[in-house]
Structure 1
Amino acid sequence: MRILIISNMYPSMNSPQFGIFVKEQVDQLKKLTTSIKLSVNTKQGGSKIEKILKYVLLYLKSLRLIFTEDIDIVHIHYAFPTGLLVFPIKWFTRKKVVITVHGSDAHIKSSVGHWILKRIFNNTDRIVTVSYYLKDSIVSDYEVNVKKVNTVNCGVNRELFYPRDNKELRQKYDIQMNKKVILFVGNLLVKKGIYTFVELMKIFPDKHDTMFIIVGNGPEREKIHKLTEGLASRVRIIGSVPKRDVSDWFNIADVFVLPSYNEGFGLVALESISCETPVIATRVGGIPEIIQDGVNGYLVNVNNANAISEKIDYLFTNNDILQRMIKASHKTVEENSIDLQVKKLFEIYKSVINNI
């Protein structure tokens, strides 16, 4: 099977977390087929002109490969704007097209954007969503035939995310064993709930000897630094780190907080419980498909630092509940491993090629 994978997000040395989930999926696919070609953008951010230029270059490279290479199936990540490539592919070739929808790419508010997305979906052979929440949304919002939509999440890489020696890692990063570590991992964006996490720092009870760790980078970083100046002894802002180091921080943490305003899936929650670190997350998007409230973590409403604080305080004072949640998370992790998810994706490729 000859596959072309197109993505507007792909990691590089300068941006190791930029679209890392796409690369991990590609790496797993290479275990099933040796014939994979890539057309990807590795440059993160930039001015409006730079963003337009990088998309033009991505489109040109993709079209060159589509028209010159012998390819069975084209897999496009992100329905918009990368999904616009479906039009020339279908107008001028007979190649099959699969599009993976990750979240925000399916929620365009303008009527013109909605009209374009509907036609992208109508011209695509198969749509893959990373959560059932997104599947339901696409089927209802864009009047897509439900039989045309499959759900395959990004999957957790259990070779990276697994329980490790907490004591050894805390020594490595100079964190005392008696500290209770509360972790945030993600881009420092308003929509990721970073200000809810800052509010949590300020209201969390002093009875716990607590350290707050922020792993990630983004446009809100300078503001976060200023807001946490008075909490310097309790806060450590790490910045963006390689994927392997993210696993270190999950294993160091006593609890992981995911306070996002929306998430197509919420892979970081899955990575956390794969390291046996309980999760307190917002009840949005695809997160409830991974975190079941009171079973393997807790769910709270958006922008509610008080609720998060109460749940963490309860876990810190009830170790039996904590251990029960860790045990309950094992099945979720097994069902959502990356190798299992990629095998499902590969079967979708075969069904599309064979018109099943």
Structure 2
Amino acid sequence: MPAKRIKILYISRTSKFTGAENILLDIVKYIDKKAFHPVVVLPDSKGLFYEKLIQSGIDTIIVKMPFLRVTYNPFLILWFAVSIIAENIAFLFIIIRLRADIITCHTIQEAFYLSIPAKLLRKKLIICFKNILNKKWKKYIRAKFAGLFADKIIAVSKKASKDFTDFNTERVNKAKVEVVYDCLDYGEYVKNICQKPLDKFFKKKNGDFVIVNIGNITELKGQVLLVKSVAKEKLKDKNIRVILIGDIYDSKDLIYREKIIEMIKANNLEDKVFLAGYQENVRGILKSTDAIVHCPIIDDALPRVVLEGFASRNIVIATKVGGIPEMITDGYDGFLVEVSSDAIADKIYYVYKNRYNLKKIKENALKTLINKFSLKKQINDLEILYKHIN
């Protein structure tokens, strides 16, 4: 008689398809289905993530989940509290009905919705630390909550793990925290990839050096820093084009998007910097570009875009924050810079001037991807962890 499969609920608070959802899709697609039964829980069926899960044959259910945010409005705080209680009651019956063995939450918000039923039903709860919070009090609350309710903390980088270990005892840290890097399947990534012309953004000329920035349009991602860099005198007269790929995630980011547009106009960069919005076929675009500049202004735990840069043979320039130094060895497989428009401009200028002599950097980047960030390794590490805690 075959062994019972371990049923795992993966909770995602969005059906949009960004880097985190891309990684989760890889996990549920390639995990050993003979040993595990993955089920993904989404708040709605409106986004591309839902479509891709259904196309991949992954069991997916819809459970409405309110989007929580920091507020000092007492009425909103009360509404959040009532919503969290209601969600915990709803998930109590869902967990019972689905007979889940393990529940994995990709943010602390998701854990708020089901931590109590997980405890009551003695189900194993995993909380992933996929981002690095920017306020000490937020770090403290998340770490203490996770320490109390989670059976395991999966941190996507050593830097991200410090958001937990800095606020808990050594005994708790040793028992609960494990670093498992998010990875990328290189073979699958390059399979059937077609170069996508850049004509919809601009008419590319011979000698153009094309930089791409990928990420939600939000202040923390630092797109303004990149625009400032390209506006510097040393770059302004060079045939450098920049494509900003990504859309706003929250309505509050509309102001930031307008700030980018105003800065482009103020520096006469309309023919150099292009806001492309959300693009589904990023792989095809990256086949036509020369470099990725990823410039978050605060800690970024482990950005997938760096791995996509390695896979697409783009030179990667990234700010030296969060878990990025765990991904890039400066001068070996990419370049690290300080959070400064001058530093970014200097490195762009260096790569631009030496672009035909950086083949070794690209080769090393591919080695790093295959040896350190292979999806096979991530899946294997997760399967061992799931079997161990179950």
Same-fold status (TM-score > 0.5) = yes
Please report how far the alpha carbon of residue 8 of structure 1 lies from its aligned counterpart in structure 2 after TM superposition.
Answer: 1.6
Judged with a 3 Å threshold, the aligned counterparts in structure 2 of structure 1 residues 54 and 200 are, in CA distance, closer, same or farther, namely farther
Deviation per CA, 1:277-297, whole angstroms, max 9, x where unpaired? 111111110001111111111
Unaligned runs of 5+ residues in structure 2 are 1-5, 48-65, 70-75
The correspondence for 1:238, drawn from 276, 286, 301, is 276
2:158–2:323 contact (8 Å) kept in structure 1: yes
- Aligned position for 2:137: 110
Q: Structure 2 CA distance, aligned partners of 1:154 and 1:84?
A: 23
- TM-score under structure 1 normalisation? 0.85
CA contact (8 A) 2:8 2:36 kept: no
Task: After TM superposition, list the pairs within 5 Å mapping 1:1-356 onto structure 2.
Answer: 1-11=6-16, 19-29=21-31, 31=33, 33=35, 35-42=37-44, 52=80, 59=88, 61-78=90-107, 80-85=108-113, 87-104=115-132, 109-110=136-137, 114-115=140-141, 117-143=143-169, 144-159=172-187, 161-162=189-190, 168-170=195-197, 173=200, 174-203=203-232, 204-206=234-236, 208-218=238-248, 219=253, 220-229=256-265, 230-242=268-280, 245-261=281-297, 262-302=299-339, 304-319=340-355, 321-334=357-370, 335-353=372-390
Which deviates the most, 200-209 or 26-35? 26-35
| Shift in CA distance, 94/223, structure 1 to aligned 2, threshold 3 Å | same
Which amino acid in the other structure matches residue 96 of structure 2?
Answer: F
Sequence identity percentage: 23
Question: For 1:61 and 1:348, how far apart are their aligned partners in 2?
Answer: 27
The count of corresponding residues between Structure 1 and Structure 2 is 343
Pairwise CA distance, 1:206: 4.1
Does the Cα contact within 8 Å between 1:215 and 1:240 map onto a contact in 2? yes
Query: For residues 126 and 3 of structure 1, do their structure 2 counterparts lie closer, same or farther at Cα, with a shift above 3 Å needed?
Result: same
Q: Deviations over 1:253-288 (max 9, x none)?
A: 211111102201111111111111111111110001
Scaled by the length of structure 2, what TM-score is found? 0.78
Q: Matches of 1:307 and 1:36 in 2, distance apart?
A: 44
Shift of 1:320: 5.7
Query: What displacement does 1:201 show?
Result: 2.0
Q: Quick check: 149-158 or 58-67, which moved more?
A: 58-67
- Paired with 1:61 and 1:47, the residues of 2 have a C-alpha distance of 17
